[in-house]
Each structure stands twice: as C-alpha cells, then as structure tokens.
C-alpha cells in the first residue's frame, strides 16, 4: 500500500465538495495553507465565494458551483479539474445535508434529496475522478465524508443513517477494489459525531422541487440543533483530523473517540443475536 504522506503537498491538487461551509471550508483553508491548488465545489455560490475570500491571495483556485447529486455536474467538475490543473491528488467527497423524522413519516422527497446529495454525490465523485486518477498513475487519496450515523443507527434519522451507512460501505468496497488493483490511490472515510457547522440549516439548499418534508422533521431539527451546539470539536479540528489521517493513511477517521463504544455495542448485538441497543443519549 502506497503511503499518503505527501498528498497534501505544495503544488498538488485538492478537490473539495461542500467547500462553502463547515468541514469543506476548513479543509480548503488547511490545503491552501500547504500551498495546494484547489477546486472548490458547492451548491451555494455565495458561500463558495466567502470561502475563497478567506484563502491566501496567491492560492490557485477553481470555483465550481455544482449540485453533487447531479452526475453531469460532477463529471463536468472532473473535466474542468483536469483541464485546468491536470491532476487530482486529494478528493474530498464531503457535501452533505441533514434531516430527520420518524421512518414511517418520511417522504419520498426526503429520500430523494438526502440520498441524492449524501450518497449519490459520493458515488458521482468516485465515478468522475477515480478513473482519471488511475489513468494518471500518480499517488492520490479519496476521503469520503460519512458520519458516526454511518456506523450506528440513530432513531429519527433513518434517511440520514441509510445515506451515511451507504458511504461507509461504498468506501470499504472502493478500498478493497483499489488494493486488489494495486493502485496508488488510498481511501479514508470520515465519521464524526456532532460538530457545530451549518448542517442543521441544511434545508437552505433543499431544491423546491423536493419540498415535501415529513411532519416530524421540525421536532427532530430542534433536538439536533441542541446536540450540534454541544459539540466540543470544531470544524477546524475535523479538517486537521482528515489531514492527519491522509498523512498516516488511516482508513477510518473517528475524531470522536466515544463513538467506538456504540460501534462495539452494535457489533456485539449482531454477534450475540440480541435486540439492537440504542446507544444514542435520549436527551442530547
């Protein structure tokens, strides 16, 4: 397996989705500080511009207003990346949206929107970039943003959990495939718990065409807002954790250590044929 210690190096190219806020913005700042060239994508053009305004003036940056749920948009981003910079060394498939509600009340629009952005956005990123990375033969690293909700099952978050469990297994499959091909591309999956970012305001980017929201969403959002506000790590801490994991070539990135207890309990439940334990605190 190729070491990834030189991926975040000056002159290398980083492609980051969801770069207008939160983790994407902080990792963009970190990569720029290392002298990397940046391709920054986000559905919200003003947020993208706000991130770019924070970068050192001499940063080579390509702004890509882009909805990652749309395959053609992500394919166009890959074409632009290679036309402008000729490579992609770090791909951060990170754009994501949150929402909740009882499973039986979720709407088809909830599923189309959240699976479209959180899961298909990552699928499109892999399909658009990995063939080009393989062809170039250069060392590269793909980091997919899942969540702690991709490792455990959170009541009131079925749509989000399904999307994020999908990202975890997709990342594991990709890892196995690339190892099997002896490729110079490594993979990591980011699984944080609550971190204060714009995630609780995700509805700001929900397309009007997918506007049918389940009736328990508002209750859930209020609880999530509290939990997110209580998060002790910052988005900058998460960006640093990603950089450290890429440098060390670690696959699972769990910045919140306590999540491992929930993972262990879930696996024990499965192995011992028990009913699933709810490891999420009732009152966040």
Ligand X SMILES: NC(=O)c1ccc[n+]([C@@H]2O[C@H](COP(=O)([O-])OP(=O)(O)OC[C@H]3O[C@@H](n4cnc5c(N)ncnc54)[C@H](O)[C@@H]3O)[C@@H](O)[C@H]2O)c1
- CA dist 93 and 15 (Å) reads 8
Minimal distance, residue 193 CB to ligand X, in Å: 6
In three-state secondary structure terms, 53 is: helix
Cβ atoms within 10 A of the Cβ of 192, count? 24
Active site residues: 160
Cβ atoms within 10 A of the Cβ of 221, count? 18
CB nearer to ligand X: pick between 25 and 175: 25
CB nearer to ligand X: pick between 183 and 241: 241
- CA dist 240 and 246 (Å) reads 10
Minimal distance, residue 19 CB to ligand X, in Å: 7
List of residues contacting ligand X (CB under 6 A): 17-18, 20-24, 41-44, 47, 66-69, 94-98, 117-118, 145, 147, 192, 194-195, 197-199, 202, 205, 228, 235
Which residues 6+ apart lie within 8 Å of 265 measured at CB?
277, 279
Minimal distance, residue 48 CB to ligand X, in Å: 8
CB nearer to ligand X: pick between 95 and 183: 95
| DSSP structure class, residue 120 | I
**Alpha helix segments (H runs only) across 88-140:** 108-114, 121-136
CB nearer to ligand X: pick between 2 and 234: 234
Minimal distance, residue 23 CB to ligand X, in Å: 4
């Amino acid at each position: 397996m190729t070491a990834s210690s030189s991926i975040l190096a000056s002159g290398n190219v980083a492609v980051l989705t969801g770069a207008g806020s939160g983790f994407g913005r902080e990792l963009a700042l970190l990569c720029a500080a290392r002298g990397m060239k940046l391709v920054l994508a986000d559905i919200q053009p003003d947020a993208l511009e706000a991130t770019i305004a924070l970068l050192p003036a001499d940063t080579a940056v390509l702004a890509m207003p882009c909805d990652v749920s749309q395959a053609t948009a992500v394919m166009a981003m890959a074409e632009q990346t290679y036309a402008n910079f000729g490579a992609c060394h770090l791909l951060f498939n990170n754009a994501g949206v949150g929402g909740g509600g009882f499973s039986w009340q979720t709407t088809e629009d909830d599923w189309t929107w959240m699976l479209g952005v959180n899961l298909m956005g990552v699928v499109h990123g892999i399909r658009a970039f990995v063939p080009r990375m393989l062809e170039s033969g250069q060392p590269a690293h793909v980091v997919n943003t899942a969540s702690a909700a991709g490792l455990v099952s959170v009541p009131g978050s079925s749509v989000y959990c399904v999307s994020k469990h999908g990202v975890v297994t997709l990342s594991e499959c990709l890892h196995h495939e690339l190892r099997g091909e002896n490729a110079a591309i490594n993979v990591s999956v980011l699984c944080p718990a609550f971190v204060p970012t714009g995630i609780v305001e995700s509805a700001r980017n929900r397309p009007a065409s997918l506007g049918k929201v389940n009736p328990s969403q508002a209750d859930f959002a209020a609880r999530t807002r509290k939990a997110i506000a209580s998060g002790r790590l910052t988005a900058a801490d998460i960006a640093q954790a990603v950089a450290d994991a890429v440098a060390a070539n670690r696959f699972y990135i769990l910045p919140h250590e306590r999540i491992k207890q929930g993972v262990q309990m879930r696996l024990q439940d499965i192995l011992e044929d028990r009913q699933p334990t709810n490891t999420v605190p009732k009152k966040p």
